[in-house]
Copies of this chain bind each other. A is one copy, B any other.
Amino acid sequence: MTDQLRDGRLHHLLTLEGLPRPLLERLLERADALRPDALHGRAARGMLAGRTVVNLFFEPSTRTRTSFELAARRLGADVVNFDAGLSSTRKGETLGDTLRTLEAMGVDAFVVRHAADSALAELAAQAAGRTRLVNAGAGKRDHPTQGLLDMLTLRQCKGTDFSRLRVAIVGDIRHSRVARSDLHALRTLGTGEIRVCAPRALLPEPAELAGCERVERVDDAVAGVDAVMLLRLQRERMEDGLVPSLDAYFRDYGLTPERLALAAPDAVVLHPGPMNRGVEIADAVADGPQSLVLQQVSNGVAVRMAVLEALLG
């Protein structure tokens, strides 16, 4: 993928793959420092005043778009939501022409969501030198801000030394950009043990699981871990015949209180949302004291502020 670094500094945020550990840790530290201002308060308001950020979403995602919109506004930037599904692209305009047109209007940064793995690389190859790109989820490959917010959440609960951390990732890893971004970050941070657990049809190519331990049964996967990272199961997996039924999935892979009890006593549970209750996760776990789901959401705003600040500040 097009290099996202220039002179050792972050120019775009396209992927967590290959992002140097010091850069990644600096982003997490900055996000942590911004957190009090991320949700309330006005201290950060002046940082990006006069800058324009466009949310360029080719796939709908109200939740992620809102998180980025709040992050940019709380830094004082102007934010425009450009619904690419309704726009000139539908009239046959190329991705590059849409990008250049918005650049010519004085847009400083683009937050892009797209169904294609390669969309961000394609945009980066055509972007003007001063333009900054943030990947808000592309294809099955990358969702770097989700990976960062997951790492920030783990750090806040488990400390900065990931070498002692045992993590289980459970669910549809094969189709998940969240899982891929988490795996890149967990490896970069030197996580002690990474277990993955999924139905065979939802496992990725073995090469993608380098450094991970594949575990068949979910009970074995969560046994003794410090964190369980769940993934959302898209209903279309069932329609595609990759999963027999939602009930069967819950029976075989759903995180119940009984299964969570097999993990370390202070184990935490992450889920990128929106949750399918009764599919990936039981209500009692989702709403229980070990769930970090809402902390993840809050961290999402702080992480996106840190990223926008790093690119535009």
Give A residues with C-beta under 8 Å from B. 38-42, 45, 49-50, 52, 54, 60, 62-63, 66-67, 69-70, 73-74, 78, 80, 82-84, 86-88, 91-94, 97-98, 100-106, 108, 235, 273-277, 294-295, 297-298, 300-301
What residues of chain B lie closer than 8 Å to A49, measured between beta carbons?
42
A70-B80, A80-B66 given; A91·B297 CB < 8 A? no
Instruction: Report the Cα distance A206→B235, complex, angstroms.
Output: 47
What residues of chain B lie closer than 8 Å to A50, measured between beta carbons?
40-42, 45
A50-B42, A106-B301 given; A275·B93 CB < 8 A? yes
Residue among B86, B93, B105, B295 making CB contact with A39, cutoff 8 Å:
B105
A50-B40, A97-B273, A274-B91 given; A105·B62 CB < 8 A? no
What residues of chain B lie closer than 8 Å to A67, measured between beta carbons?
105
Contact A106 B40 (CB under 8 A): yes
What residues of chain B lie closer than 8 Å to A45, measured between beta carbons?
50
Instruction: Report the Cα distance A194→B103, complex, angstroms.
Output: 31
A92-B274, A273-B101, A276-B92 given; A106·B38 CB < 8 A? yes
Instruction: Report the Cα distance A73→B76, complex, angstroms.
Output: 13
Contact B101 A63 (CB under 8 A): yes
Contact A86 B62 (CB under 8 A): yes
A66-B82, A88-B274 are known; give 12 further A-B pairs, CB within 8 A.
A38-B106, A39-B105, A40-B108, A45-B50, A70-B78, A70-B80, A74-B78, A74-B106, A92-B276, A97-B274, A101-B273, A104-B297
